[in-house]
């Protein structure tokens, strides 16, 4: 790629994180979920919680303080805006500061969220509160689940490359609002969901090339529609309900190596030339499958596992939490592959690279 082409690549120049209060997984189990899952379900649930890979996680609505499991969806959606607006504002403000920009510099503001809906939504209200221009374009990316950050990054990256103006992506999820009612029926999918999911907001500023940061080289995807029922997120009268088939790891195993290898091949690279991996930790089994199928050494996914342990599965912001962790290592990787998975069943991959200075 010529120096002129390198200069046209969109570059991630700012990341901002906002987290609700944290709680220990053990305290969540003993203080709430041990009672929430009663009877014969309790022993199974305890094993799943213990083997989740999660040590601490965040909750805007902490079940130790407030049980929302019987709330109607309308009430949950009202609470979504109350909690998401200050988190989004904090994340956006930090990302802009990190990038050395003001809100008025932003040409496109994209918001990803699958855990709450309102009109006017986060995109409009935050654009107003942060002082973005009335001419700022906006896009809302909803119901894409855990992989939404990557098509979101593709959308803002394409805008930056085409318009030569900065763009901003916000991923904000409040999974804690979707606690489901207790049931005597054994429902492994709901137990897994309640054991893993967490809340977070992460904002990313993307600017035209020429500034230090990770250049967005390509966003790629593959969707296996024959397994569309393996991962679902249904709107019910009591919030949104997760459907998560135990066969998801097998589907990922069938597709992930080809997706990554073909992405890298288009840029003249091999898997062993990637020195940074940000893999969405949908759970320990997901990370184990990716590690095995890509032939990665155990240390390659250490940061992905660390984010799962420290933050849980925060849905769309999670892969960006891992990227920020990689970015702040004593020796940050030069090439990073982001991987995330979700409904469809869909796999997304993104290649980031720090351009070589002539």
Length of the chain in residues, anyone?
358
How far is Cα 343 from Cα 228, in angstroms, rounded to an integer? 7
Q: Are 353 and 214 in contact (CB under 8 A)?
A: yes
301 DSSP β-pair partners: none
Enumerate the H helices of the chain as residue ranges: 3-8, 25-28, 34-36, 41-50, 73-99, 122-130, 149-163, 188-196, 248-265, 284-294, 302-311, 318-327
281: Cβ–Cβ under 8 A, 6 or more apart, which residues?
53, 287, 304, 305, 307, 308, 313, 318, 322
Q: Are 285 and 48 in contact (CB under 8 A)?
A: no
Q: What is the DSSP string of 253-320?
A: HHHHHHHHHHHHHTTT--GGG--EEEE--S-HHHHHHHHHHHT--GGGGHHHHHHHHHH-B-STTHHH
How far is Cα 106 from Cα 137, in angstroms, rounded to an integer? 9
How far is Cα 103 from Cα 92, in angstroms, rounded to an integer? 9
Which active-site residues does the annotation give? Answer: 146
50, two tokens: 């213990």
How far is Cα 160 from Cα 207, in angstroms, rounded to an integer? 6
Report residue 193 CA to chain centroid gap: 15
- Closest-CA residue to 145 (of 121, 171, 169): 171
């Amino acid at each position: 790629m010529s120096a002129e082409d390198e200069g046209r690549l969109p570059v991630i120049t700012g990341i901002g994180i906002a987290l609700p209060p944290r709680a220990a997984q053990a305290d969540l189990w003993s203080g709430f979920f041990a009672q929430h899952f009663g009877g014969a379900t309790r022993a199974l649930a305890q094993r799943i919680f213990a083997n989740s890979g999660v040590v601490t996680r965040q909750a805007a609505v902490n079940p130790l303080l407030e049980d929302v499991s019987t709330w109607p969806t309308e009430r949950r959606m009202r609470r979504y805006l109350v909690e998401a607006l200050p988190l989004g504002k904090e994340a956006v403000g930090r990302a802009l500061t990190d990038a050395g920009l003001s809100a008025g510099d932003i040409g496109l503001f994209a918001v990803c969220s699958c855990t709450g809906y309102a009109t006017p939504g986060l995109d409009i209200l935050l654009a107003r509160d942060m002082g973005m221009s009335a001419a700022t374009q906006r896009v809302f990316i909803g119901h894409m689940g855990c992989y939404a950050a990557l098509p979101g990054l593709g959308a803002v990256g394409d805008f930056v490359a085409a318009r030569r103006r900065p763009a901003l992506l916000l991923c904000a999820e409040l999974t804690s609002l979707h606690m489901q009612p207790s049931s005597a029926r054994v429902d492994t999918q709901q137990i897994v969901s309640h054991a893993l999911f967490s809340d977070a907001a992460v904002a990313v500023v993307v600017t035209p090339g020429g500034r230090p940061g990770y250049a967005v080289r390509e966003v790629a995807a593959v969707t296996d529609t024959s397994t569309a029922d393996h991962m679902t997120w249904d709107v019910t009268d009591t919030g949104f309900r997760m459907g998560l088939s135990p066969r998801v790891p097998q589907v990922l195993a069938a597709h992930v190596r080809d997706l990554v290898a073909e992405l890298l091949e288009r840029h003249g690279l091999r898997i062993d030339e990637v020195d940074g991996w940000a893999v969405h930790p949908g759970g320990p089994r997901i990370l184990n499958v990716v590690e095995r199928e890509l032939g990665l050494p155990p240390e390659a996914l250490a940061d992905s596992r660390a984010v799962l342990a420290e933050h849980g599965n925060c849905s769309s912001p999670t892969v960006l939490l891992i990227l920020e962790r990689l970015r702040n290592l004593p020796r940050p990787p030069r090439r990073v592959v982001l991987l995330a998975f979700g409904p469809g069943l869909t796999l997304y991959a993104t290649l980031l690279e720090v351009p070589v200075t002539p």
